[in-house]
Amino acid sequence: MLTYIFLIGARMINYDSIRYMNVYSKIYSMSYREMDGAFKDFYSICRENEIKLMGHVFYSINKLEDNDRMEIEIFFPAEKRVEIPAGKLRYRNYFIVEKMISVVVEGKMETNIKKAYLLMEKRASSKKQKLMTPFFHEIHRTGKKGYILVKAAVE
């Protein structure tokens, strides 16, 4: 059963997961302002190698540094495995994370994503749980609009 908690531009879903096959990924170290460039680079590599999307692109923020830099990993679930030159992308047969909580974020993304992080931390703390993974951001597009599912595993 899914439970929703409404927040301005966000709602929480208790117990979610990430389950994909044939996942390609790449780690980027950059500032927040360079994020568009990282996605363009990643999509370019996927297009060059004719990797076709099967599911939703998602990314994790693995490390935040004091000097406005961060490390993210962008993930691309593909229809099938495609041989690509070594060192371009990392490949996983399966990428599965279970027992996650998630928040649907819409509207003012930057503001509402920060609210989502706080909501998830508060929810985990209130249930005497710990967040066990970085925050994952699954991108959903519906025409020109879209939303992001922010997820993290709990213990």
Domains and CATH numbers, the chain: 4-153 (3.20.80.10)
Region of 111 (left: φ > 0; alpha: ψ -120 to 50; beta: rest) is alpha
Q: Quickly state the pLDDT bin for 148 (edges 50, 70, 90).
A: very high
Query: Taking the alpha carbons of 106, 112, 114, 116 in that order, is the dihedral positive or negative?
Result: negative
Of 102, 103, 99, 96, which is closest to residue 153 (Cα–Cα)? 99
Q: Is the pLDDT of residue 7 over 80?
A: no
In Å, how far are 17, 61, 80, 136, 138 from 133, measured between CA atoms?
12, 10, 26, 8, 14
**pLDDT tens digit sequence for 45-98:** 999 999 999 999 999 999 988 788 999 999 999 999 999 999 999 999 999 999
Average pLDDT estimate for 111-140: 93
**57 vs 144, more confident:** 57
Hey, what are 138's tokens? 């699954």
- The b/e string for 9-23 (b: 16+ C-beta within 10 A; e otherwise) is bbbbbeebebebbbb
Q: What percent of the chain has pLDDT over 70?
A: 92
